[in-house]
Amino acid sequence: MATTSCWFLVFVWVVWGLPLTLAGAEEQQGEGCSTSAKTCGNLTITHPFWIADREAGRSCGPLDFQVGCSNDSIPFLRSSGFTGYTGFAIMDISYKDRNLRVVDVRKEEDFNVSNSRCNFPSWNTSSKLALPFKVNPANLNLIFYKCTKRVALVEVRCVNTSNVFVRAGVRFDEMRNYVDYALEGCDAIVVPVMGSSDGANASHFEQLISDGFLLTWDPPPTSKFTGQSSFNQVRS
Ligand SMILES: *[C@@H]1O[C@H](CO)[C@@H](O)[C@H](O)[C@H]1NC(C)=O
Ligand SMILES: *[C@@H]1O[C@H](CO)[C@@H](O)[C@H](O)[C@H]1NC(C)=O
Ligand SMILES: *[C@@H]1O[C@H](CO)[C@@H](O)[C@H](O)[C@H]1NC(C)=O
Ligand SMILES: *[C@@H]1O[C@H](CO)[C@@H](O)[C@H](O)[C@H]1NC(C)=O
Ligand SMILES: *[C@@H]1O[C@H](CO)[C@@H](O)[C@H](O)[C@H]1NC(C)=O
Ligand SMILES: *[C@@H]1O[C@H](CO)[C@@H](O)[C@H](O)[C@H]1NC(C)=O
């Protein structure tokens, strides 16, 4: 019986929900906003993310989810103030898992040892993030140290700085409490990286930063009955 009513709901959604959804989306996004997915580089950008129409230049969705497309090839989070040297570039989006893989391009720059701008940054990656985006707990962390003397960790040989070191494989802490990893006489910066086995090798810090890390997003508030959320309700 439960199964039958469940399938009935699916039927109702398919037959009635779809046209309603399209009408709702148009209404919500305003005239002139296309509801179809767009691409930037290899990535398909679709709800809740959106790319502004070049001509219209108007808001077509929640501002936090606006995506820019640098050089027609690199998608980035507009809300992160991306300039090419700062902000968050997007490498991948999993709409099903509400995850996106991003690169903190400023950290990539700051810890690029072949770069003359290599230096010890003054911000933790997480402090540049705002809701609805959160660091996914599955990431591991790199911790970079700027010390007054040498310590027994992998050294980061920046041109104009000395005594910079890095540790890898530090588990995510919801409260950002990394006191166990504090070193006397050192400033610390925490950078999340993908939680692969390689995420534990500090020697690969440049590659790890370039590979990015996972952010999770909270669904944008919606008062409307959308096809996506009703579908999830029926299935669960
Ligand atoms: C994009 O496509 C190119 C060519 O198919 C591939 O080499 C590259 O890895 C892809 N990038 C991403 C982020 O999937
Ligand atoms: C922009 O894209 C063009 C064509 O794909 C490429 O040749 C050029 O290197 C890119 N520039 C940057 C800064 O990525
Ligand atoms: C690091 O800097 C060098 C020299 O400026 C540049 O060629 C290289 O692309 C940079 N690497 C990354 C990952 O940004
Ligand atoms: C690095 O040090 C050299 C020599 O002291 C100096 O000329 C250069 O401007 C410095 N670069 C940065 C980015 O601070
Ligand atoms: C970065 O985070 C670590 C760990 O939470 C903290 O000890 C450190 O003071 C932070 N650094 C800055 C510049 O906020
Ligand atoms: C970490 O990477 C370095 C350089 O690639 C390698 O020599 C070392 O064996 C690796 N360490 C571990 C524990 O895998």
Residue 207 covered by a domain: yes
Write down the pLDDT at residue 204. 95
**Ligand number nearest to the C-alpha of 116:** 4
Residue of the CA atom closest to atom 11 of ligand 1: 42
Residue 163 covered by a domain: yes
Residue 165 covered by a domain: yes
Write down the pLDDT at residue 30. 53
For ligand 1, mutation pick of 42, 91, 94, 211 (most atoms within 8 Å of CB): 42
Residue 236 covered by a domain: no
Write down the pLDDT at residue 118. 92
Write down the pLDDT at residue 34. 67
Write down the pLDDT at residue 55. 61
Residue whose structure tokens are 């770069």? 115
* Contact in structure between 75 and 144 (CB atoms under 8 Å): no
Residue whose structure tokens are 């709409």? 95
What distance lies between CA 101 and its chain's CA centroid? 5
List pLDDT tens digits, range 103-137.
Answer: 999 999 999 999 888 999 999 999 888 889 999 99
Q: Which domain holds residue 102?
A: 38-217
Positions of the chain with pLDDT under 70: 1-35, 54-58, 222-236
Residue 180 covered by a domain: yes
Residue of the CA atom closest to atom 10 of ligand 1: 42
Straight-line distance from the first to the last Cα atom of the chain, in angstroms, rounded to the nearest whole number: 16
Sequence-distant (6+) residues with CB within 8 A of 159 are 113, 115, 116, 118
Residue 7 covered by a domain: no
Residues lining ligand 2, CB < 6 A?
Answer: 71, 73
Residue 151 covered by a domain: yes
Domain count, the chain: 1
140, amino acid identity: L
Whole-angstrom Cα distance, residue 101 to residue 150? 34
Residue of the CA atom closest to atom 11 of ligand 3: 112
Residue 33 covered by a domain: no
Bond preceding residue 48 cis, omega within 30 of 0: yes
pTM score, two decimals? 0.79
CB count within 10 Å of CB 34 equals 13
